[in-house]
A and B are shown apart, each in its own frame.
Chain A
Amino acid sequence: AQTVTQSQPEMSVQEAETVTLSCTYDTSESDYYLFWYKQPPSRQMILVIRQEAYKQQNATENRFSVNFQKAAKSFSLKISDSQLGDAAMYFCAYKVEYGNKLVFGAGTILRVKS
């Protein structure tokens, strides 16, 4: 069974600084998707970034980028120039290419200090 592990229950970052959230996963599949979702206090699950496993190039979305290491089954999220609005719970998630469900990690609470 696929599993997703987020080893950092909580992280803090100073406004304007950079922070990296860690995620590892376990799968025997070769084709799959990886995601980072953000859940602010409003509870809405917001897609931050998506990575297709067949793509070697790391995905980027403005201040958000990933470091995808397929052999190591690692998928970290880097947030640059952190803003107060980035404070939220961040979930790493996995989905097999032709599968249905997302498998989520336990989440990392990110606090941003002003």
Chain B
Amino acid sequence: DAKTTQPNSMESNEEEPVHLPCNHSTISGTDYIHWYRQLPSQGPEYVIHGLTSNVNNRMASLAIAEDRKSSTLILHRATLRDAAVYYCILRDVGGSQGNLIFGKGTKLSVKP
């Protein structure tokens, strides 16, 4: 799996939008972009994934650059419950469908 680069930490105010960036300049054509988050003392939670087009679900939106070398996870209105470490992971669905490679992620703090 190709490498991703994320900021170590970000801060947000409650009820404001949050844009979490991820760079993946070596992404291949068959790599999907996955986002997971891990709340304190919990297992990773799937957030969203996409290939080329922007994606929306009840948790978040995923904006993917046209060249696919970067993407942004958007939380439209941050809540205190969104404080977590967010991981951007590339996964080749054309391959053996094995493990996810977790980097250090971005630790999001949400201030009331």
| B partners with A | no
Q: B residues near A, CB below 8 A?
A: none
Contact surface of A with B, Cβ cutoff 8 Å: none
